[in-house]
Structure 1
Amino acid sequence: MLVDAGFLSIIPPIVAIVLALLTKEVVFALLAGVFSGTIIYSALAGLGPFGVLSTTVTIMIDKVGSNADMILFLCFLGVLVILITKAGGARAYGEWASSKLKNRKSVLFATALLGIFFSIDDYFHCLAVGTIMRPVTDRSKISREKLAYQIDAIGAPLCVIMPISSWAASVISYFPEDGSVSGMQTFIQAIPLNLYAMLSIFMVLFLSFKKKSEFGPMLVADKLAAKGIFSSPEGDVTEDDLSSFEKENQNGRVCDLVIPIVVLIVSCVLCMLYVGGLFSGEGLSIMEAFGNTVAATALALGAFCSLVFTFIYYLCRRVLTFKELFGGISQGVCTMVPACIILTFAWTIASVCRDYLGTGEFVAHVVATSGIPVIILAPIIFIIAALLSFATGTAWGTFGILIPIIISICSVAAPSMTITCLSATLAGSVFGDHCSPISDTTILSSTGSQCNHLKHVGTQIPYAVIVAVCCAIGYVVAGVTNGLGQAASTGIALVVAIVILTVILLIAPKVWKYTPEQQEIINSVED
């Protein structure tokens, strides 16, 4: 199956990313990237013209089949969102939150706190936080681009430093089985030096509390939202279009949103433990069960359980009729169709790059044979991991490619740099995943916030790049101070990176204002 494509292996992700940015049509861009990859593979494997179509369809079938649990989870969650809206739960919560959260600062901080609460899994986080907070942020005239950024910047960065999360289980699974490196112990030691995760969370909280903190494309989105213009997957919508949920059941209460969501959380956590074997009688610990679980399967099962509960609960509460409940199924599934299409193509191009062309192996070989000096090993690894994750759209795939290589390199060349280099690998992978328009978590963040996907990517990248620059500087400092010991090196690098980021965040709003084109867009909207 795998062919040695060499430098040609990086063409599909480049095609997808460039076309996405140029055409603003992410489905077309992904499909073009898939076809460019299967054309290269078919040519090298001697399959002929029909091999291009055959390979493309085969991969899509395989990816849809292997990710059916994730698609089911999305559909179940879409149905749950529709039912909550129909029952009046979203309306009631919006009214309650508007009375309690009096300003932009409190709404953004509440969104961040909710994101921390949902940090057990990034998919779950992206969709659940968006579902709950979108009516509130819309009413507060906070742009959906800002909501999507907060969801994305809290989601994966927090998951990758949480010992009890699907991400931790994934990372630990890539560690060698020979006992040379202790998975969980090393993971915990690497948390403070995972600079991208730490700084992303710091930046979200900083921007939440500071007034007039937006800059660049996000500032334009912020100004448009203040004038009642919001981004949506179908195009910009006005403030009047957002009031549709007010026409729903007026008898709905806050409990009609909170109880189904709480049941969803509890169900998903219990199902993750169940799928992981906690209740199998084998004596597994909670940590071992999280390590063994299949997150997407558990989330689909948990969402289905919560959906069954919600049907019964709403019938007992008499906020929805039997006909309305089952009518919400098709509506809910339809809301998730665009996300499922994009995810299918994103999974397909990731498979083409990883399983057919060896994009990861090519990049990893370049890293391993480059003769990088030890003192700058961590920042170089951070950059390579970011590029690989950005190109393939998957942080988890990047973990699997680079972690074994980094451990091997450090065990021979720089044992004292193992923790630092592993931290850089995780940080770079999350940064690349955070910025990539073909990343599933980036797609789900825009889906959860009901924001136009490419607008989310365009407004988020400047913020993410600023954090990444501070991270790279921090890893240089970590390399220079490595001789002082791991604890001292980590502390110095983290403090330096945070100080630099704080200075930039204070200066950027004053110097990064509108371009003439952006000013025209804002002026074209009547107050």
Structure 2
Amino acid sequence: MEGTIYSLIPAVLMLILVIATRKVILSLGAGIILGALMLSQFNILEGAQAIWSNFYSIFISEGALNTGNLYLLTFLLLLGVTTAFMTASGGSRAFGRWAVQRIQTRRGAKLVPALLGIIIFIDDYFNALAVGQVARPVTDRYKISRAKLAYYIDSTSAPITVISPISSWGAYIIGTIGSILAANEIVQYQALEAFVKMIPANLYVFAALLLVFLTIFLKLDLGAMRTHERRAVSTGELTNPKNGVAPGDLNNEFKEHEHGRISHLVMPIAALILGTVGSMIVTGMQNTEGNVSLLSIFENTNVNISLFIGGLVAVLVSAGLYIKQPEPKSGMGHVTFEGFKAMLPAIYILIFAWMIGDVIGQLETGEYLAEQVERSSISNAYLPLLLFIVSGFMALSTGTSWGTFGIMLPIAGEIAAVTDVTLILPALSAVLAGAVFGDHCSPISDTTILSSTGAGSNHIDHVITQLPYALIAAFAASVGYIVLGFTGQILLPLIVTLAIVILISLLTHIVLRSKTIKD
């Protein structure tokens, strides 16, 4: 069943169950079990053994600790503890009071995560979690639903990171592009030059970023997002109470200190940023052979260990500030335990997502989709659109943008080099765009999981509420890629894409406004 159309079944089943039940662990578990049974030819004992091996490999791989995964999981726990100390010390409440005095409108509060998401472009993981910690006190004060905050975080983190050459994503992509150009004997571009020239053709990214700001200024609450926002405004409940405690939400487990100051929030966040970025630079320099440049640093940096170090520094700073707080206050052990406990739902989801991602990888779902692209004999003009759609579905079903890059970028480069070399950069851009689109729609994407964690949103609520916006941006980008394929231009497709997003947003705004008047 590997590498055939049947390899799509676990991913499709998982997606159907997620939408139908909104129970992410149940849906992921069903996909894992079915995939393991398919891999073992429906031998129950072998399937159970495959599931155990899958789980075991998350922590121990090839006889050694899987340090990358362990560092990331530990970072989530450290982030939970940091958040708990910032809350217990009264720092979050003090920052919220300060923000209310400076930010006078609900729209202004929405702009905070949107702008921070663009400014923090170093890494998508770091972006998703750091922006959530800074913006949450502000958005909570203005009764902005956690689902809306998660949307702002997710729809700025990956899009800005994938077009930034000075980022973990950019460095990886540039390195991949270099090997593709060399393999296809394309000498008119250097890797960095090609990456920069590809940026305007990454149509989905610009559509998604524009849509974020249009939702702010036009109040575009689509589908389930409208329900979340109405509930937040009318009742003050920022999450759906029926879904229980969201990942990263402390749910008033302890009383905030009355003498909290803004520094109790700002200093731990600053420690997190400085510790993480500093560690990324150091590990990047250590792992670079030969000349060290800014690009080589981010190409060779160890993101997960950098996040761990940054998280550890943030815990030490936040705990130190809390210790200095006068009595009465909650015990250190209690605050630490509550911080750990708040992050457990996110860790469970992430582990299950890794497991089904591994199962789907063994079933060679991505390879099957890529093979269909290579076999297709459609007109060259439709090549960017086809690559965008296939890359989107691949990222949706596998939950990984980077895995999609690794599979689809070489294929796109080879197809374009053989059929029409002038389309090679747009073809590569279409892969990047499609991978981010699929990532935005996938409940098993680690970036999506961490965005909901950073926002304190129920994970499936985030996936469901973000979907309409991702589909609008994808539709506009699809039209843009058709224009690109037939005209060979770059600027015109981008203008068409953005114009479609604006037109749909304005029409939607008029419809929503008329509904509000009727209500």
TM-score using structure 1 length: 0.89
Q: Does 1:463 align with 2:469?
A: yes
Inter-partner Cα distance in structure 2 for 1:225 and 1:370 = 48
Inter-partner Cα distance in structure 2 for 1:62 and 1:233 = 35
Residue 155 of structure 2 aligns to which amino acid in structure 1? A
Residue 319 of structure 2 aligns to which amino acid in structure 1? F
Inter-partner Cα distance in structure 1 for 2:57 and 2:328 = 39
> Contact between 1:81 and 1:332, CA under 8 Å: does it hold in 2?
yes
Of 371, 383, 396, the match for 1:365: 371
- Aligned match of 2:55: 60
Q: Where do 5+ consecutive residues of structure 2 fail to align?
A: 61-65
What's the CA shift string for 1:227-284, capped at 9, x where partnerless?
A: 12321586379xxx99949941111111111111011111111111112225989541
- Aligned match of 1:349: 356
Inter-partner Cα distance in structure 1 for 2:444 and 2:241 = 16
What's the CA shift string for 1:344-377, capped at 9, x where partnerless?
A: 11011111111x1111110000010011211111
Inter-partner Cα distance in structure 1 for 2:99 and 2:445 = 31
- Aligned match of 2:17: 19
Equivalent position SS for 1:174: helix
> Contact between 1:87 and 1:320, CA under 8 Å: does it hold in 2?
no
- Aligned match of 2:136: 134
- Aligned match of 1:383: 389
Residue 19 of structure 1 aligns to which amino acid in structure 2? L
Inter-partner Cα distance in structure 1 for 2:434 and 2:251 = 40
Matches within 5 A, 1:200-219: 200-210=208-218, 212-219=219-226
> Contact between 2:75 and 2:311, CA under 8 Å: does it hold in 1?
yes
> Contact between 2:399 and 2:444, CA under 8 Å: does it hold in 1?
yes
Q: Does 1:504 align with 2:504?
A: yes
> Contact between 1:115 and 1:154, CA under 8 Å: does it hold in 2?
yes
- Aligned match of 1:74: 76
What's the CA shift string for 1:132-158, capped at 9, x where partnerless?
A: 222221221211111111011111111
Matches within 5 A, 1:85-100: 85-100=87-102
Of 106, 109, 115, the match for 1:113: 115
- Aligned match of 1:276: 284
User: 1:111 deviation in Å?
Assistant: 1.8
Inter-partner Cα distance in structure 1 for 2:209 and 2:301 = 26
Of 31, 35, 38, the match for 2:36: 38
| 1:122/1:152 CA distance change after superposition, 3 Å | same
Q: Does 1:291 align with 2:299?
A: yes
| 1:106/1:374 CA distance change after superposition, 3 Å | same
Matches within 5 A, 1:456-495: 456-482=462-488, 489-495=489-495
Equivalent position SS for 2:444: coil
| 1:458/1:254 CA distance change after superposition, 3 Å | same
| 1:234/1:129 CA distance change after superposition, 3 Å | farther
- Aligned match of 1:424: 430
> Contact between 1:233 and 1:452, CA under 8 Å: does it hold in 2?
no
Inter-partner Cα distance in structure 1 for 2:59 and 2:234 = 41
What's the CA shift string for 1:35-78, capped at 9, x where partnerless?
A: 1111111118xxx3211011111111112443111101111111
Inter-partner Cα distance in structure 1 for 2:296 and 2:391 = 28
Equivalent position SS for 2:7: helix
Residue 256 of structure 2 aligns to which amino acid in structure 1? E
Q: Does 1:312 align with 2:307?
A: no
Inter-partner Cα distance in structure 2 for 1:282 and 1:335 = 44
Inter-partner Cα distance in structure 1 for 2:513 and 2:223 = 6
Residue 279 of structure 2 aligns to which amino acid in structure 1? C
Number of residue equivalences: 501
- Aligned match of 1:486: none
Residue 222 of structure 2 aligns to which amino acid in structure 1? F
| 1:249/1:294 CA distance change after superposition, 3 Å | same
Residue 345 of structure 2 aligns to which amino acid in structure 1? P
Q: Where do 5+ consecutive residues of structure 1 fail to align?
A: 483-488
Equivalent position SS for 1:227: helix
